[in-house]
Structure 1
Amino acid sequence: MTASILAGYADKNASLFRRLQVPLGDPAAWFEIHGHTVALVRDLEMDRVRQRSNADHVTCPAEHEPSLGLSADRETATAQAAVQLLRSKRVEQIKVDRSLPYIFAWHLQQAEIELIYDEHLGVLDRRVKTDHEIEHLCSAQAVTEEVMRMLCERIANASADAKGQLCVAGEVLTSESMRTLAALEFLKRGFSMGHGAIVATAPDVADCHHSGSGPLYTERPVIVDLFPRDEATRYNGDCTRTVVHGQASDTVKSMHAAVVAAKAAAEKVLVAGNLASEVQRATEDVLIQHGYPVSRGTVTDHPSIQHGTGHGIGLDVHEPILLDHGGGELLEGEVFTVEPGLYGRSDGGVRIEDMLVVTEGTPRNLNQLPSGLDWST
């Protein structure tokens, strides 16, 4: 018979957490055997896993001790117990995912249990979100937008000193201080910024993933990209807006218009059954038609296209699949970011990012915020 295993640490492995529903900091494993599910966890975690997961059976390593005993090392002991459990079920082959720790693979191989790699295990089931998961993402995005509005309005309503630097109450606004503010505001709301945040302007923003550094200036676009995690549900928000203090230049206005048009084109083809590559092609075609070149992997002085249209999102900020060249079929219930952008050293960058749910028709947008450049109140 063939079984499947997911193993590791549920506080780091989102696929394992999704099954256990407890962010365990100790090694654990999840099995599907003959249509039944088994959770193998530390003994003191058994009750929590019973209460939160839908496992048919919850067990611990001590209940599957080999003849020579279990190792004092927890990872080794859990891998040993996994072997004993599978032997007791007469399992000779087992499907494994891309994240299986080698310590489990080694012990399984030593027991002459054949490993069968399944590239979709732990991935395909996470791509299509349940209604409950979409609710979690919607809530996370709403909080992300609260803090986004706060940051964009703070930048837009600041004063400019003689050097053009933005100031509030005599303090110069910097990329660093704005990220600190975001972290504090998210902390108040039960969110964390484990992956950081982006508050970037020219010239740093020419590198689309540069987090930003130094003072913010009037009339220069500032990209604010926030992607926090809700610590209660472990689902992520992800939203980007671009704000200009004062008057945006004609160049920046043109960049913004192109990005808005590209985003609309992407959303039009973000439909179940279409290909992710079609979404990327729609985005890229619009930006190219507006006169912007593709420059992936190379930072440019003048505005250029540097990345794909978006990515899946859920328990991880970046999840398969990508809305990019070579991307496969879109599934109803998938959730993606759609985030076209343009970047250059001279004029800065513009990016707009929303989170959308794939349907058989018009995608459901989980964002409410406006996407203009002027955030002054």
Structure 2
Amino acid sequence: MITDKNSLDISETLQEHRSDAFMIVGNSNNADMFYSTHFFASDSFAYIQTKEANEIMLVSEMERGRAEIESRVAQVRTLQDCNYRDKIRERGDPSIAYCDCLAEILQKHGVRRVSVPRDFPYHIAQTLKEEGFSFEAIKSPFQKLRARKSSSEVGKVRKVQDACNLAMKAAVNMIHKSEEVDGKLNYQGYDLTSEKVRHQIDITLLDHGCESEGTIVSCGKDSANPHWEGAGVLRPDEPIVIDIFPRNKKSRYYADMTRTVIKGEASQRLEDMYEAVLVAQQVATGMIKPGLKCNEIHSKVCDIFDERGYGTSRSGSDTGFIHSTGHGVGLEIHEAPFVGERESVLEAGNIITIEPGLYYPDVGGIRLEDLILVTDDGFENLTEMEKRFIV
């Protein structure tokens, strides 16, 4: 059963690495930092968990009150507690003084060997090394915990995906209501462009407390580049790939969805591509259950495309199906588990995308993407938006 987590204890990982503590320094744009503290701050702060599973946050004095109320961490220390201003006068350098504050906290908790994430600030590690601490950069111990969502986290992702669904409906509706004028799509008397559709998506998301960067509205041959955002006038009889991956501004959780549509008529080749992608997605989604290896899903998708004569990256092709089948979604838009060639095993509470696609530079691309929750006995599709090619 998916339940709320009561602990972020990573002491077992620290024991494996013979470390006294794990430390992160950064702001809330760092997903592990936000996950471990539940505290949002644009300025840098520090999180420490000792091998005894004691947790400490170091924040500025200005953030003390808010951190004590909002953060899940019980021990909140401030720079003022560590006599930061005195240390600046002694050291003549605020950055080194900050390191001295960290050193004071680490020493108080008997920490000498420190594990840090692989993107840990070099200057801080180097300065603390000079003060007698040893460091090891390790794979994030929170990634596996983050991959298995609690019921609360699932609810947060559902909320974002609901907003994403409304935004996708608004985008497709603009295309549906457009008309062909001189080989272009025209909406309410004006050329319908990628930018105008993105604008409508942004407005819809903002109305529901969400935001999105890099939204894809890509038409025609341009859509053969999977991550091309798209620009300019949309045209009839050509595929339009719409990929929306919004984040809730408050919860910080993401969602993800892709639909491909055509206004007008689709060539037989595009119809066949769409059918192949749809079948691949349906089969892959139907396989999902706890205990299944992610590479088995990806391999099956490749099999389906191979059987229909489409190239795949597995066979060395640079056209056709050229990316993985999916990825985890949560505090990052791409996080574990990754549904590709890795042998990661699905667990109840994972939220993953299933997004097969086909891409050919002479006609464009087709991609369909749903967001899937792995349940105790199978899966739940969190994506309500219909799949309709001709709109």
- TM (norm. structure 2) is 0.88
Q: Deviations over 1:197-235 (max 9, x none)?
A: 100122111111111122111121111001111101111
- Cα gap change, 1:120 to 1:9, in 2 (>3 Å): closer
- Report what 1:18 is aligned to: 35
Query: For the Cα contact (< 8 Å) 1:27–1:75, is it kept in 2?
Result: no
1:89-108 matches, cutoff 5 A: 89-108=109-128
- Report what 1:229 is aligned to: 247
- Report what 2:105 is aligned to: 85
| In structure 2, distance between residues paired with 1:324 and 1:245 | 32
- Report what 1:119 is aligned to: 139
Runs of 4+ in 1 over 3 A off after TM superposition: 65-68, 70-78, 295-300
Identity of aligned residues (%): 27
How far is the alpha carbon of 1:64 from its aligned partner? 2.4
| In structure 1, distance between residues paired with 2:30 and 2:108 | 26
Query: For the Cα contact (< 8 Å) 1:127–1:312, is it kept in 2?
Result: yes
- Report what 1:288 is aligned to: 306
1:273 to 2:291 alignment: yes
Paired residue type of 1:292: Y
1:85-234 matches, cutoff 5 A: 85-163=105-183, 165-193=184-212, 195-234=213-252
| In structure 2, distance between residues paired with 1:219 and 1:333 | 40
1:223-262 matches, cutoff 5 A: 223-262=241-280
- Report what 1:335 is aligned to: 351
Q: 2:360 aligns with which of 334, 344, 350?
A: 344
1:313 to 2:329 alignment: yes
| In structure 2, distance between residues paired with 1:73 and 1:263 | 56
| In structure 2, distance between residues paired with 1:341 and 1:72 | 56
Q: Which stretch of structure 1 is more off in the superposition, 273-282 or 179-188?
A: 179-188
Paired residue type of 2:59: V
| In structure 2, distance between residues paired with 1:9 and 1:321 | 24
Count of matched residue pairs: 370
Query: For the Cα contact (< 8 Å) 1:269–1:279, is it kept in 2?
Result: yes
- List runs of 5+ in structure 2 lacking aligned partners: 1-17
Q: Deviations over 1:238-258 (max 9, x none)?
A: 110111112222222211111
- Cα gap change, 1:91 to 1:323, in 2 (>3 Å): same
Query: For the Cα contact (< 8 Å) 2:372–2:381, is it kept in 1?
Result: yes
Query: For the Cα contact (< 8 Å) 1:272–1:361, is it kept in 2?
Result: yes
- Cα gap change, 1:104 to 1:121, in 2 (>3 Å): farther
| In structure 2, distance between residues paired with 1:369 and 1:83 | 52
Paired residue type of 2:29: K
- List runs of 5+ in structure 1 lacking aligned partners: none
Q: 1:42 aligns with which of 47, 50, 60?
A: 60
Q: 2:385 aligns with which of 362, 366, 369?
A: 369
| In structure 2, distance between residues paired with 1:329 and 1:120 | 18
- Cα gap change, 1:66 to 1:52, in 2 (>3 Å): closer
- Report what 2:45 is aligned to: 28
- Cα gap change, 1:74 to 1:272, in 2 (>3 Å): farther
Query: For the Cα contact (< 8 Å) 2:25–2:47, is it kept in 1?
Result: no
How far is the alpha carbon of 1:11 from its aligned partner? 2.7
RMSD: 2.2
How far is the alpha carbon of 1:368 from its aligned partner? 0.8
Query: For the Cα contact (< 8 Å) 2:21–2:111, is it kept in 1?
Result: no
- Cα gap change, 1:95 to 1:200, in 2 (>3 Å): same
How far is the alpha carbon of 1:22 from its aligned partner? 2.3
- Report what 2:3 is aligned to: none
- Cα gap change, 1:196 to 1:76, in 2 (>3 Å): farther
